[in-house]
Amino acid sequence: MASEMTPTHIIESRTLDRATVEALAKSGMPHKLVDCTLEEAHLSRLVLEGWVFEACNVKQATFTGAKLGNTLWSDCKGGLADFTGADLSESRIEGCDFNNSSFRGTVLTGAQIERCKLTGANLSEAKTLNLTFEETRLADARLPGLSLRKARLNGLDFQLADLRKSDFRDAIFQDCSLRDANLAECRFEGADLRGADLGGIRLLNAKQFKGATISRDQAGQLLAELGLKVR
């Protein structure tokens, strides 16, 4: 969840550079930025814990190694932003566009991501314990080794995503897409896949769904790979 600390100062509709943000951060208290522009700003390694970013432009901004725990991001535009190695633990990200952004090695422990666009995003090596996703587009994203064990997954689009070695044991899929995703060495034991689009999954890969629950229609799709019909 987002920080329980209340931002001490609200800044609206300003263009901010590193020097300005760094000066604000020195107070040690969180700030709320509303409709601010930080496009291409270099904010690496700053301590911004508990800050609120509302309707801000952070396109191509650099947050590498920044301390962003307990932050709230709402309706922000951040295509190609770089959060490599940042700490976003216990943060809430909602209604944001972070297409093609990098979260490589980012700490996302306990974070909540809802109604976001993460098409083409890179979450390789991210720390995702207790990470929750909802109604988020992750098409063509890189998510190898993702752990969503026992999670309830609602409205997630993993189409063409790299999900190699991800853990979906005991997860429940509702209105999700795994169409043409790379599912090599994934684990689905105990998962309920009846609410997932499995289009493009070949029968040769069906063994990795051992222990999962699928529908008759999904079983028919898999058998159709062998030219068989289910009546």
pLDDT single digits (tens) 21-79: 999 999 889 999 999 999 999 999 999 999 999 999 999 999 999 999 999 999 999 99
pLDDT at residue 231, as a whole number: 64
Count of Cβ atoms closer than 10 Å to residue 229 Cβ: 8
Q: For residues 70 and 52, give the distance between their C-alpha atoms in angstroms, rounded to a whole number.
A: 9
**What phi and psi, each to the nearest 5 degrees, are found at residue 19?**
-60, -40
pLDDT band at 1 (very low <50, low <70, confident <90, very high): very low
- Global pTM reads 0.90
Look up residue 95 and give its amino acid: G
pLDDT at residue 97, as a whole number: 98
pLDDT at residue 3, as a whole number: 43
Higher pLDDT, 227 or 214: 214
Contact 86, 104 (CB under 8 A): no
Burial class, 213, CB count within 10 angstroms (exposed 0-12 / middle 13-18 / buried 19+): middle
Instruction: Show the tokens assigned to 163.
Output: 């999900």
DSSP 15: B
**SS3 state at 74:** strand
pLDDT band at 5 (very low <50, low <70, confident <90, very high): low
Work out the average pLDDT over 8-18.
94
Q: For residues 79 and 180, give the distance between their C-alpha atoms in angstroms, rounded to a whole number.
A: 24
pLDDT at residue 223, as a whole number: 75
């068989």: which residue's tokens?
228
H or E element in which residue 223 lies: helix 216-224
Length of the chain: 231
Q: Which residues contact 11 (CB under 8 A, 6 or more apart)?
A: 24, 31, 32, 33, 34, 36
pLDDT, tens digit, 9 for 90 and up, residues 170-185: 999 999 999 999 999 9
pLDDT, tens digit, 9 for 90 and up, residues 165-222: 999 999 999 999 999 999 999 999 999 999 999 887 766 667 778 899 999 888 887 7
**What phi and psi, each to the nearest 5 degrees, are found at residue 138?**
-125, 25
Q: Which of 86, 3, 114 is nearest to 51 (CA)?
A: 3
Compute and round to an integer the Cα radius of gyration of the chain.
20
